[in-house]
Structures are given as structure tokens and as C-alpha cells.
Structure 1
Amino acid sequence: MPQPPKELDGSTSPRAWFGVELRYWRTKVVGWSIKELAAKAHVSREVIRRIEVGDYNCRIETALALDKALGTGGVFERGWGHAFGDDNKKAADDNFSAQQPSPVRNLSRRGRMLAADASLTHGGIESVDRRSFLAVPGLAALAVPGAARLLQPTQPARLPTEIRPHDIRELIEAAAFISRLDNQYGGDGIVKQTATTAMLWAEDLLHVKCPTELRPVLFAAVARLGIVVAASHFDAYAHADARQTFRFAAVCAEEANEWHLRAKSYSFLARQAVWIGEPDQGLTYAELGLARSDRLTATERAMLHSARARAFAKMGQAQQTLAAVGAADDAFAQARPDEDPPWMTYYDEAQHHGDTGHALFDLALLGHDPRHATRRLTTAVKGHDDLYARSRAISRTKLASLTMATGDPDQAAAIGHRALSEVGNLHSRRAADDVRELGRLAAKHPRNHNATTLRERVTATVPA
């Protein structure tokens, strides 16, 4: 009787990860047996079996053959260097230190901004199905050029002995990749782990010898990554780490004389403060971001005025909220996307209407006309595509809550069910909290069957 295939754990080593990925492509994507893949890749069945269980030093030629046979588009070629490259080198790269630091052991050294987190130890890593969460095979993430070394939650990259342009490019590419995952799937779970590891490595880079001409560019790249990492912590409700990292990013941006990144850091600090019930502090951060607004683009000014509006709304100051929304609208009307830095592409029409709509939502719950908030949240929902699935889900949930509180509960329930279907695909504590708010508002309609059904589904999806 044939034995069941050995259960694989891709988190134990790069080799194991490579093996898990090979089995995934072979069985789930293509649907081949080991014998069929061996014949297509012109290797023995024993080679395929041993690669999958992490017991074989795969050659680059074999990785290329696997890519060709399975039609991966180069997944195994890109993953080979991470999983087997060091085993196939006759000498170490002189540009890297021989000692590879542990990401857990060194979290608290040199007064790190990020404290040790039990979730990063091997015994504490959440049980997360990487594919269902990331919606891409693990090694497919290595398609990010050059940044693969920084994106392994359990495998820290080794530090260079001197900063080169290549190291800075890796930081920028890692920031873009993590930001994409955060926006699509939420910042908790494996995204938070990956972001934390990349940030620790980036912070260490600031202590590496750096040519004078690269120093501001390095600090700007670290600031950019810091904003992305802090955003994932914010979404995961690691608020202390988020605030500390946002502030660290702001300091790095100032060191680099990068006003655009400084503005983005303070915008996020403002949003986080408002979210955790500190709107007065949030207003202060937004005002700090607007310092020397003449150096900012119109889109950046709109972003910061939207943050001011959300702070004023949480404080119940209606006139100031409406004035800030007007200032945000005026600035956004002057936006020229070709003038914006690349990290500002997220702040499009959908994002602007979502941010200002959230501020007007708070006013509507205080008794003000809800139609303005409804229009803006509807525009946000329609405008966000799948790359911004979390923003769309949050705006749709807010729209359902607003309708439940001020309009037709049947219509609200229909919107709410769609929102719940989206939130179910996310690892976002912010989105979950908004859904709980929707459930509380639905409970105010105990005689409405649709509202009751929605509330029951909310309780099942995101328990209190």
C-alpha cells in the first residue's frame, strides 16, 4: 500500500521552502505525479522526491529545468540562490560578513526601535497558510527583483560591509512589495512578520559604512520602508511598534532632507492617533506634516488636510471638519500625479473620497446630513480595485454602517453582506473592528430580519 506523502514545513529552512513550493506547483498547479515531472524535467524520480523533502542540494540547471517543465515563469531560478546558492559557492562573498545574526536574538540590541516579539520565535509563529493568505505561491514572491533576501520572515539577510546602490534598491523594492501585500491582504500575520524582519535589517544598515554621497539616499530608503512596516503594524494593532516606527521614519526622512517622506510619516501618525482615540494628538501630527507645505505636492497637502478633517470629526467639531474637508478638496483639485513621488500613487480619487468620507461619517453619526458621507464612501467603494482590497472593504463597511444608522436597514444589510465577504479575505484588525461596529448598529434593529441575519453573520465572522 503506498505511503502518504511526507508532510512538509516550509518555515524550517530555505531548502524546505523550496521543496514545499515544488510540491505545490507539481500537485496543485499542474497536477503531475513525481514520475511525470521527472520525465518532463529529465531528472530521476529520486531527485524530485529528495528536493521536495529538503534533502537534496539542487543545482541551478535542475531549477531551470523545473521552471521549464512546470511553466513557472522563473520561480525556481529566482528561488535557487536563496535556497541553495551558498551551498554551491566555493568561497563566501567578500562583501558580506560571515556571521548571520538571528532575527530574534538581536531584536533588542543597540536600543532597537522594535522590541522583541514572541510571535517571531519559531515556537510562536502563527499557523498561517501562506498561499491562502498571500494568494501567491511562497517563492513567487521572489519575483521582486533583488529584494528576495529581505522578505523571509525566518531568514534574515546578511549585512554588507559597505553600503552600495544595490542595497538601497533592495530596500525600495522590499517597501513596494510589502506595501502591496498590506493593501491587498492586511498587515497582520505573515505580512507583519515579513515587514518586521525587513525593518530590522534596514535599521542595521544605518550602522554600516556608507559613502557620503549615498547617505541621504540610504536614509530616504529606510524612511520609505519604515512607513510601510509601521503601516502593517498599525493594521495589526501593534500600536506601540507602529508609532515608534513611524517616528523613526520621520527622523530618517528629515536626515535625508526628504520632505515628501516626512509628510507621509506624519500623515500616518495622525491617522493612527485618531484611530486609537487620540484625535488631538492626531491633529498635531497632521499640522506638523503640513509644515513648509510649499515643498509638498497638492496630493500630499490633500492627504494631510484629510487627516485634519478626521481628527476634527472625532472631536465633534463640525465646522472645523467641513473646513478641513474643503481644504482637502481644493488641494486635490490641483493634484498632478506626474509630480507626486511613487509612494503617493495610492492617494487617488477613491482614497481621497474614502478618507474625507470617513470624517463626514463621524459627523453623520452626530446628527449631521449623512448624504455627503454616503456619496463619498460610495465613490471610494467603486474606485478601489483589488490592489486596494482592504480600503474598499473598510469603506464598504462604513457605508453599510452609515446606512444602518441613518437609512434603510435592508439596504444596509445588503451592503454589509458584501463587506463581510471582503473582510473575510483579510488579515486586518482595523477592518474587523469596523465590522464589529456594523454589528452593533444592526443590533438596534431587532425586528428587522435582514439586520438580525447580518448581525449573526458579523458575530460568526469576527467574534467580540
Structure 2
Amino acid sequence: MPDQQKSSDHVRLRYGFLGTDGLFSDAWKMVFEPADADKKRPDAEKKPSSTVEVAVPGRSGRILGSDSSPPSGSSASVDRRAFLATSSIAAIASLDLVALVTPANAPLPTRIRRLDVEQILAAADEIHRLDNKQGGGGLVGVIAGHAMRWAVSRLTVPCPEQLKAPLYAAVARLGIVVGASHFDAYAHDDARIAFKIAADCAEEARDWHLRAKVYSFLARQAIWVGDPDTGLTYAEKGLVRSDRLTPTIQAMLHSARARAFGKLGDVRGTLAAVGAADDAFSKSNPADDPPWMAYYNEAQHHGDTAHASWDLAILANQDPARASHRFEIAVAGHSDDYARSRAISGTKWASLLMAKGDPCQAAAIGHKALDDAGRLTSRRAADDLTDLSRFTKRHRGLPDVERLRERIATTLQA
């Protein structure tokens, strides 16, 4: 019997007690739907009614029992929620992924090679680059989905012992960037599945940094869809054993905490979390960080913490100067490679000034943000533009503001 078949049969025997073959066969088809599938489902999820926490059994060799189950209230089907709640690397491996995710003209290798790991990492780097520069929709999302299928299929291929941890770490890294792309395109369930695979793979690889990054994204996604309490929980999970995390990664997670507290209207909690993020970032040394953390520079840090301060200014009537100053640093610091981040920070800065400052200055900033946003396939950036348009209604009749309103409408209709 070929090695690949032996491995597949062994995995099925080992995990056959799960009794989920039918569920997983149905759910897996939904994991990586064609890019146009989002036309068939509702738009972004709004405030979930509650949170479901599902314990996933721990396994030897893992850092911690991973739990990245999604909030309930999703528009997804019951089967998809069941998949999210029960999946793990053990369960995923019980599938015949060769049949489910591999095209007939792309047979799996008989053994994992170093080249397979390098290709997964190269795909992750390229998707990350495209996602930040262009947004997660359109062709970027299609590329991301196909890359994830290819990578996950390698998890059932016999792997030399010395390549197991690098393989799981590579799939975790890819799952993070693919999940981020799906999140940006509002394919929220696809994003959660990619993040869950990433979390489990990071655990198997015993990579604390990748694990922290997964929980940072899960936190931000939960906050975005209106569940900041769950987002705060995810951010706190990411900070478990913070002594093993670099200061930059700690700053990233404290920024996520700040954003959750901001949405909750907790002024003291937000200010404390922003302070913790600033303190950690002040100790940042890029040489200590994994290469994929290079994006978290001064501009990114100030943009992330500015969003938390924005919520305090708008929701809790706090001083808008804190957020305005941080947005200014973020917009000035982001390069063209991070056009989406620059567009989102600029749009939120313009909204802040429309609500709490000079509307003419806000209009000028809004026009610059539109220069970037108009070239993106980002549902998040589009929603922020919609919010900015609502804020402009306070200043109807001002020529600068009216021109901005017209341009936003044209951009959103394009």
C-alpha cells in the first residue's frame, strides 16, 4: 500500500470515533467557496446575540487547548457553525482531503519536502502584500482561497519529522493572511475557518507568536462585527504567557484590547490598554520579531490605538485630540504598500473631524483617503466611507463638504 494511503487510513482509524465524516464532507465544501459565493449570502454580520465557547480537547505537543469558536448569531448555516465548533487538526486530518480539496490534475506528493513549506510561506507573503495594497476582495480573495486549499491538502501527506513543525507553522501563517483577506471581504465564516485552522496549526507547531497573531485577528474581527466582549476575550487569550511574546506582539494585542474597550465605552479600560500598548511598543526591537511582524511599525501602532481613541471621542464624548494626533501619524507613516491602512485611518480621521472639529479640514483629509480607497476591493474601507458620508450630513451646504459627499457616492457606486 502506498505511504500516502497508509497515512490516510491510519488517520481515519485513529480519529474514527469522531463520527463526523458526513458533517465534515458537507461543511468542507463551504470552507472555500468560489469567490462569487458571497453574492448568495447576506452582507456583513451585525451584532451577535451571544457568544458560544466550545472546549476543544487538548493534545500532546500543543501549547494550549485551542478555542477559536465563532460568536453565535452568524448568518451561516447550522452545519457551518458545527464545523467551526468541532474542528481541530485531528478532525481535519480525518478527512480524505485528497478527494475534497485537490484538483484531479494536481496530485499530492508522496512526501512533504522543504520546497512545499517554502512555497506555502511564499504564498502567504504574496497574499499579505496584495491584501494590504489592494484589499481582500476580487482576485486577491480567489488567490487566497486556492492557496489555502493547496496548503491544507499537504497536512495529510507523510512528512519527515524535522519538517512537521515548519509545515504546521507555514500553514498557520497562510491561514492568518487568508483569514485576514476573507475578513476584509466580509466573508466572515470563511475567515473564522481559516483562523481556526491557523490557530490549531500554530498550536501543533508550538509557535507562540503565530498563536498570538491568530487571536489578535479573531479579536479584531469580533469587534468589527459588533461583539467587542468576545473580541476582548480573544485578545486576552492571545496574551497568555506574554513573557514568550516580543514587545511588538504584546503591543499589537494590547491595541486590540483597547479597541474592544473603546467599543464597550469603557474609558478607563481603553486608556489603560492604550497605555499598555504604548509602553510595550516603546520597547519594540524589530530584530527580535518574526519577519511577518514588520508591518507593525509606528504608523500601524498609532492607527490601531487611534481607532480605540476614536470610539472614546464619538461614543463617550472624550477629547478628540488624542485620536486625531494618532491618525495623523498613521496616515503620514503608511507607505503605498499599506494603502488600505492609510485609507481607513484617513477616513476615520476625516469622520472624527466632521463630528468634532473643522469640517473643511475633514473634507481635505477625506479626499486624500478617497485617493487610496477608490482603488481598493475592501468592504471595510467601503463601510468606513459610508460612515464618513453620514457624518458629512451635519455640514450640508458647505461647498467643500458637498464635493466630498458627491465623490464618496461616486466611489461607492463604482
Shared fold per TM-score greater than 0.5: yes
Number of the residue aligned with 1:318: 267
| Residue among 328, 339, 350 paired with 1:378 | 328
Is 1:284 the counterpart of 2:233? The answer is yes
| Residue among 269, 281, 284 paired with 1:335 | 284
Q: Report the 3-state secondary structure (helix = DSSP H, G, I; strand = E; otherwise coil) of the residue aligned with 1:430.
A: helix
Number of the residue aligned with 1:248: 197
Number of the residue aligned with 1:447: 397
Structure 2 length as normaliser, TM-score? 0.76
Aligned equivalents of 1:434, 1:308: Cα separation in 2: 21
CA contact 1:308–1:324 (8 Å) conserved in 2: yes
| Greater RCO structure (CA 8 Å; 6+ sep) | 2
Superposition deviation, residue 461 in structure 1: 1.2
Identical-pair percentage: 59
Is 1:115 the counterpart of 2:47? The answer is no
Superposition deviation, residue 206 in structure 1: 0.4
**Number of equivalent positions:** 331
Q: Report the 3-state secondary structure (helix = DSSP H, G, I; strand = E; otherwise coil) of the residue aligned with 2:275.
A: helix
CA contact 1:96–1:161 (8 Å) conserved in 2: yes
Q: List runs of 5+ in structure 2 lacking aligned partners.
A: 6-23, 41-102
Q: Report the 3-state secondary structure (helix = DSSP H, G, I; strand = E; otherwise coil) of the residue aligned with 1:425.
A: coil
Q: 1:443 is matched by which residue type in structure 2?
A: K
1:279-321 Cα distance to aligned partner (Å, 9 max, x none): 0000000000000000000000000000000000001001100
| Residue among 410, 418, 434 paired with 2:368 | 418
Equivalent runs, 1:1-400 vs 2, <5 Å: 109=25, 112=28, 114-115=30-31, 117-119=33-35, 157-366=106-315, 367-400=317-350
Aligned equivalents of 2:227, 2:305: Cα separation in 1: 18
Aligned equivalents of 1:263, 1:449: Cα separation in 2: 47
Number of the residue aligned with 2:76: none
Q: Report the 3-state secondary structure (helix = DSSP H, G, I; strand = E; otherwise coil) of the residue aligned with 2:268.
A: helix
Q: Report the 3-state secondary structure (helix = DSSP H, G, I; strand = E; otherwise coil) of the residue aligned with 1:112.
A: helix
Number of the residue aligned with 2:378: 428
Larger Rg: 1
Q: Report the 3-state secondary structure (helix = DSSP H, G, I; strand = E; otherwise coil) of the residue aligned with 1:316.
A: coil
Q: 1:219 is matched by which residue type in structure 2?
A: Y
Q: 2:174 is matched by which residue type in structure 1?
A: L
Distance 1:455 1:156, change over 3 A: farther
Aligned equivalents of 2:142, 2:35: Cα separation in 1: 8
Q: 1:410 is matched by which residue type in structure 2?
A: C
Q: 1:185 is matched by which residue type in structure 2?
A: Q
Superposition deviation, residue 119 in structure 1: 3.1
Q: List runs of 5+ in structure 1 lacking aligned partners.
A: 1-94, 98-107, 125-153
Aligned equivalents of 1:361, 1:234: Cα separation in 2: 21
Distance 1:172 1:157, change over 3 A: farther
Deviates more, 1:444-453 or 1:361-370: 444-453
Superposition deviation, residue 113 in structure 1: 8.2
Q: Report the 3-state secondary structure (helix = DSSP H, G, I; strand = E; otherwise coil) of the residue aligned with 2:255.
A: helix
Q: Report the 3-state secondary structure (helix = DSSP H, G, I; strand = E; otherwise coil) of the residue aligned with 1:215.
A: helix
Superposition deviation, residue 112 in structure 1: 2.9
Structure 1 length as normaliser, TM-score? 0.68
Number of the residue aligned with 2:354: 404
Aligned equivalents of 1:433, 1:404: Cα separation in 2: 16
Q: 1:180 is matched by which residue type in structure 2?
A: R
Superposition deviation, residue 159 in structure 1: 2.0
Aligned equivalents of 2:348, 2:104: Cα separation in 1: 39
Q: 1:454 is matched by which residue type in structure 2?
A: L
1:216-272 Cα distance to aligned partner (Å, 9 max, x none): 111000000000100000000001111121121011100110000000000000011
Aligned equivalents of 1:402, 1:155: Cα separation in 2: 53
Superposition deviation, residue 448 in structure 1: 1.7
Q: Report the 3-state secondary structure (helix = DSSP H, G, I; strand = E; otherwise coil) of the residue aligned with 1:457.
A: helix
Aligned equivalents of 1:449, 1:332: Cα separation in 2: 41
Q: 2:257 is matched by which residue type in structure 1?
A: R
Bigger share in helix: 2
Superposition deviation, residue 116 in structure 1: 5.1
Superposition deviation, residue 449 in structure 1: 2.1
Superposition deviation, residue 157 in structure 1: 4.8
Aligned equivalents of 2:29, 2:213: Cα separation in 1: 19
CA contact 2:4–2:158 (8 Å) conserved in 1: no
Q: 1:354 is matched by which residue type in structure 2?
A: G
Deviates more, 1:179-188 or 1:208-217: 208-217
Aligned equivalents of 2:140, 2:344: Cα separation in 1: 19
Distance 1:304 1:116, change over 3 A: closer
Distance 1:268 1:156, change over 3 A: farther
Aligned equivalents of 2:380, 2:296: Cα separation in 1: 19
CA contact 2:120–2:174 (8 Å) conserved in 1: yes
Superposition deviation, residue 114 in structure 1: 5.0
Runs of 4+ displaced beyond 6 Å? none
Distance 1:180 1:155, change over 3 A: farther
CA contact 2:35–2:141 (8 Å) conserved in 1: no
Distance 1:337 1:363, change over 3 A: same
Number of the residue aligned with 1:77: none
Superposition deviation, residue 452 in structure 1: 1.9
CA contact 1:270–1:281 (8 Å) conserved in 2: yes
Number of the residue aligned with 2:98: none
